[in-house]
Structures are given as C-alpha cells and as structure tokens.
Chains A and B, each alone.
Chain A
Amino acid sequence: MKARVHIAGWGVISAIGNSVPQVFDSLRNSSGGIAPLTLFDSVHTGVLPVGEVKLGNAALAEILSLPVATPRAVMLGIHAAREAVKNSEIDLKKWRTGLISATTVGGMDKTEEFFKEFLIDPKKGKLRNVVNHSCGKSTELIAQDLGIKRFISTINTACSSSANAIALGSRMISAGLLDIVVAGGTDSLTKFTINGFNSLMILDSKFCRPFDASRSGLNLGEGAGFIILISDKVKKSEGIRTTSYVSGYANTNDAFHQTASSPDGRGSFAAMQQALEMSNLLPQQIDYINLHGTGTVNNDLSEGTAIRKLYGSRPPRLSSTKAFTGHTLGASGGIEAVFSLLTINQQCVFPNLRFENAIPEIGITPQLHFETRLPIHNVMSNSFGFGGNCSSLIFSRSDN
C-alpha cells in the first residue's frame, strides 16, 4: 500500500466568509452569500445574483500589502493560501515544496480593463493590466508570495480544475517527487465569465436551487481554497497532528458534449467509482458527498442519475454548497475540498439551501439542515466541468 498523503492545513475565502472560521459559521447558520452583483460596472450590476467575496480590490490589496493592479483571482488565491500555510504551522522552505494551483480566469478582470482602451486604439491600454493575463502567471504570483520555487503548475480543466490540482499534488507526494504541496485553486468574478455563462442561458436570474425540482440555472461565485498536502515523512519529522488524508481521486471524461453532461452521467459515475476503487472503500462507506450540484437542469439531473446508479435509492447524506457560495468555477474543487475536510474535522454535514422538492426523475432529497455529532469517516467531493471533465476526490479521517 502506498504511503498516505496527509492534510496539514486549509484556507478559504468565498462569498460566505474570508477565513475558515467565518465560512464554517455561515455554513452552520445556513447563511448564504448570494446577492446582486456590485463588484464592477456591467449591464448585470445590481440585478444578477452572484456570490461575491465581501472585500473589494482596494481592501484586499491593503490587507495583503499587494499592488492594487494585482488581478483579483491572485489576491483571493494569496489570501486563502496564506491562511492554509499559517494553519499548517510548517516552514515550507525546509522541504521540497510545490504549488499546484488552478484557475480559469487568471488575470482576465484586468485584461477586460485593458481591452476597453486597446480596442479603440491599439497603442492604448495600460500594459500593467495585461501583463498578468495568463493563468500560469497567477500561480507565479502566488508562489512568489509563499516563497515556493521548487515546483509550480497550473491546471485549467474548467470547473474541475482545482480537484485535479489536489489529485496531482497527492500523486507527486506518493511518487516521492515532493514532500509538501500547496494545492487548490482560485477564480474571481469577471465580466468575461458572467457574460459567457449568460450567453449560454444557464444563469438563474433568482437565487440558485441545486438539486431542487424547480432549479433553473446556476449563480456564479468567486473565491479560493487551498489545502496543504504532506508526506508521511514530513508528518513524522515535524510531529504534526492531522485529522484527515487523501484516500482516493479519479479523473475521467464524459466525452458526450462540449458543455452538456450525458443524461446517464457516465463521466461522473466513472469518476466516483474509480475514486472509490482507489480508496478501497465501498460506496456505502462514504458518509457524505459534497455534490458538484450547480443548479443547472442538466448537471443536477446527470449527477443525480449517476448517484442513483451507484447507490440505488439509499445515497449517503449529500448536499451542494453552491447555494451558499455560487459556482466558483476553477476554485470550486479547492473551496469544496475545504468544506469536505471541515465535515470530517467537525463531524458534521452542511445543508443544501433552498431545497423544496426532489427532482422527479431521481427522487434524491439532500441534507436539509446543519447536523453535527455525526460519525463522518469518509467524504467525497465531486467537480465536473465543461469539456466533459469529471473529477471526484475522497478524503478520510485519521486519528493521529
């Protein structure tokens, strides 16, 4: 058996809080973070419901001591990654440490500003607004902030990106290539993504209702989530107490349609099944599933169908936390990994907000209330994306 990859810390920022304790309070109190768009001027401002982090760019730049021209996704990423590192109490520089991040927008918010002037006159537009455009550049800036040089990588598989970052980090530690990996992802709200999803007509003009019969689209969100993965050797020699480890992961492709999931959820079914196989767990041993659950008609039906195929009529406790945060795209796998780890750490499960009626075709009722003092040993986190990319992660409880 392979040596375990332990989780030594986590950090998060999202519409429901700027730190792990704040986010946990919101999840416990069923206090969602969706509200009309305020972040920038757009035809959707004041109307379209989104999950904004409740800190503007100026406030973030001040808290983090960064230039205000820094892309928002970078600032959100640094905010969450710093919390994760601090929380782990490990000196990253002592070890072979890597940063594997994920993002779909990178510096797009600043590129949008650049384009306004550039399209009128190609000699215009401030270059400092486009120099950090690429997804990879956002990871460079986060790595620089954390002092990581040994290994950096960025994954962009749309909405499953940061789940894949956590899987790669685990594999690199298992293979002995790195000792510590800071893994997760970050995405900020941008006009590009809001208008893109709007053109696809999959945004709900009201608050999203994942896994509900009346669901009619998703709300976009933003944020970042990072976890600190460590090897057995780091754990032992640093004498670190951990409560969880990575026990399984899988990445598959639905290969059905560029933006829609297959009706039988073949990609998501395969991802869940392969992650279970790797963890040597039976489906029944999963105590909680953090669903991808975007709130679109297509995703929830497809994911629900795959869960029915895996579990019949008796699935474990499950919920989509996207009704709290909105769909944070490339960050969702990282943010929801932190939520999943909290369920193990706090022995609780989080509710699926705004649920009223089960989707008739699948008849699944998600978790309705916050519930604690539960024996949570194994949790699964699902992340599926455009391009048919499907990933499932499994985290398990350890007692030392």
Chain B
Amino acid sequence: MPLYINGIGAISPQKTWGDEGVLLSAPIDYPNNYLACVEPDYTQYIDAKHLRRMSRILKMGVAASTLALKEAEINIPDGIITGTGYGCLEDTGIFLRKMVEQKEQALNPTPFIQSTHNTIGSQIALLLTCQGYNQTYTQEAFSFENSLLDASLQLSEHPDQNFLVGGVDEFTGLSLQIQNRFGIFRKTVGSSLDLFKTSSSGTLPGEGAFYFALSGKKTKQSLVSIDVVETFFKPTKEELLDGINQFMKSHDLKKNGIDLVLAGKSGDNATEILTDVILNEAFGSSPVGVFKHLCGEYSTASAFAVWLGARIIQYQHVPPIILDKPINTSVKNILIYNPHFENYHSLILLRSC
C-alpha cells in the first residue's frame, strides 16, 4: 500500500530547511573529511527551556519533526516511528566518559536518560503530547526502511491516520575517531563534492535528521507516494540481482524505463565494484543520480534520498549536482537503491501522485 508524503522536515549537511531556493542549486562543499549538518536556529522550533537540556541529535530530530508537521498542516500525528542506526551517540559518549573518569561516582543522570535510542521519538511525543503508537528501529542501514515498513502496516490497518516517520543519526568527535580507526573513511579529502571524481578506498561520514508526515490516503498536501520498500541482508550478487529483478517485475518497472535511479554510491572503490555491476545489470540505461557526496555515508542516509527524490518529483527539477548528464524528460518515478557497505542493501520506490 502506498504511503503519501504530506510534509518533510530535513536537516542535513546541505541547506534543506527553511527557504531552500532552487533545489540544491548551491551545494555545500566540505573540504574536511566529514559532512556535518547545517543546523537552524532552534529557538524558532523548540522552547528554550527544553532546548537547554537537549543534545544535538534531539534538537535536530525535534526540529525536523516540527517542520514536517507544519508542511503537512498536522498538529498531532497518530503515531511516531523513528529509525536510527546508532541512536544518541553524544549522550552515550558523555555518560561512558564520566563513568570511567569519575570511577562510577556522582554521575549526572541526564545523559544516561537521553542515551537510549527511543529518546528522539519519545521526546517528540512528549512535546506534542502524542499518546499514540511510538516505535524506534535500530538495524543499522535498515533502520529507516524498517520504520517505513512499519508505517505501511499501520496505515494499511488505519488508512485515515497520519504518521510521523523519521531517519535520524548524528556523529560525534568520539564516534568519528573510532570509526576512522576501522579504515572505512578517506584520510584526506580536498572536496566532498569531488567524492566520485577520485578513486580511493573509503567514503565520507555524514549525518542527518529527517521526518516525513505520511498518510495512507492521498490528501491535498500529498507530494509523492512511497510505493514499496524492500531490504536485502548480506545477499550474494546473484541473490541481490534476483531480488531486484523480482521487485521490478512485481511493481511494473522496466529495466531501462525508470525515470531516475538514486544510487547510494559511497565512493569507496572496493564496494563500488559490486554497486556498478548491480546498477548496470538491474537498471540498464535508466539515468542514475548519486547523493552521498551531499550527505555523507551513514546508517539512515536513505532518508536523505527520499527527501531528495520527493523534492525532485514535486518541483520537476533534477539538480545537476547529482547527475553526469542532464535529463530532460519528466520524472514520475524514482527508485532509490541504497547499498551500505557490504551487508545492507535496500530499495525504495517513489512515484508522483
């Protein structure tokens, strides 16, 4: 059953909130080796007395939820579903550090309370007094996909309801230090926008906070529909190709006939080999756009792709920064194929409505 997107709140390394101007017409370049969110002045969205205690991920998540509800013209949703790969890293790090440094003595409980993954979704519920369904998924790069799947189950049972569904992740100084030691990120980068112009091992870390106001029925606010979500865990190349082909067949998609494929290429030359084979064999001559040079690689990066895809369909404008050669046809369907390192692969189909 399709989910209709009626509003989006997006906080990302690009300017994706407030007056966006022409979609990604002035992409922000990051010369350092990470892409951090462009954050708004939170006092516009969150009461100062709440703001004081919130970590960065909570501020970003709450602000994104507020923006999504405003665009959808909804006061209180019927339920809130949040996907987060690593949860509230800043508060987790603070509590761990203090616990070690203070030898388990005289610890402030606030970072502990705010360290649980469900803090983001429950903080939104608390501020809205939303007593409905509240759920948090944390399956690395399926966290946002699982959230969409849950929303489609909920909304097929109750099509008149509205759900807020998000993908939220932050990085911290500590998390970057640790992840860098695994060698998954590039050591030196001159320009994040040139991620795909140089062949190298490793990708760029990113982060983002997205909430989507979804309904089971089309409304006058509906921008685009999310038709289907599929996940593939640790597939072999053959299993993945079979899975994608079946997906295409059952949703009436032609190999060379997708208006736009948004591919979660990461720039890491080892994993790109498989990604390129898949793109070529599964989607043929359909135009392929990329997005991780704009948001970085992180667990819920597919939420950035859903925002991007929805805005492309809404404005009928494909920003040149995501393509090699421009496309001039109208974009009615967008297939997001998001590989995340070796084990996680997902498909999300967007259609104009």
Contacts and interface: CB of A to CB of B under 8 A. Distances in A.
B104 A43 contact: yes
B233 A149 contact: yes
B211 interface: no
A30 to B, nearest CB: 33
Interface stretch (A12-20, A58-66, A132-140): A132-140
Interface in A227-272: 251-259, 266-267, 270
A156 B104 contact: no
Contacts of B34: none
B335 to A, nearest CB: 20
Interface residues of B, number: 57
Nearest to A259: B113
A317 B268 CA distance: 59
A386 interface: yes
A275 interface: no
A156 B130 contact: no
B138 A149 contact: no
A157 B129 contact: no
A164 interface: yes
Contacts of B117: 104, 135, 156-157
B121 A387 contact: yes
B104 A191 contact: yes
B29 interface: no
B122 A252 contact: no
B16 interface: no
Contact of A119 (B100, B118, B119): B100
A389 B85 CA distance: 19
A129 to B, nearest CB: 11
Contacts of B114: 258
B138 A253 contact: no
Contacts of A164: 135
B131 A254 contact: yes
Contacts of B234: 149
Nearest to B119: A387
A134 B85 contact: yes
A200 B109 CA distance: 6
A128 to B, nearest CB: 11
A151 interface: yes
Contacts, number: 166
B132 interface: yes
A386 B140 contact: no
Contact of B138 (A43, A130, A155, A252): A155
A104 B113 CA distance: 12
Contacts of A151: 231, 233
A32 interface: no
B138 A387 contact: no
A171 interface: yes
Contacts of B115: 196
Contact of A127 (B100, B125, B182, B235): B182
Interface of A: 42-44, 104, 111-112, 115-116, 118-119, 122-123, 127, 130-131, 134-137, 139-140, 143, 149-158, 164, 168, 171-172, 175, 191-192, 195-200, 251-259, 266-267, 270, 385-389
Interface of B: 80, 85-87, 95-97, 99-101, 103-105, 107-109, 112-119, 121-123, 125-126, 128-140, 142-143, 146, 150, 153, 156, 177-178, 181-182, 231, 233-235, 343
Given A119-B97, A195-B104, 20 more contacts: A127-B181, A136-B138, A136-B140, A153-B146, A156-B116, A156-B117, A156-B136, A157-B136, A191-B104, A195-B95, A199-B108, A251-B133, A251-B134, A252-B133, A255-B126, A255-B129, A258-B122, A386-B119, A387-B118, A389-B118
30 contacts: A43-B103, A127-B181, A140-B140, A140-B343, A143-B233, A149-B233, A152-B142, A152-B233, A155-B136, A155-B137, A155-B138, A156-B87, A156-B116, A156-B118, A156-B136, A195-B104, A196-B107, A251-B133, A252-B133, A253-B130, A255-B126, A255-B128, A255-B130, A258-B123, A386-B118, A386-B119, A386-B122, A387-B121, A387-B122, A389-B118
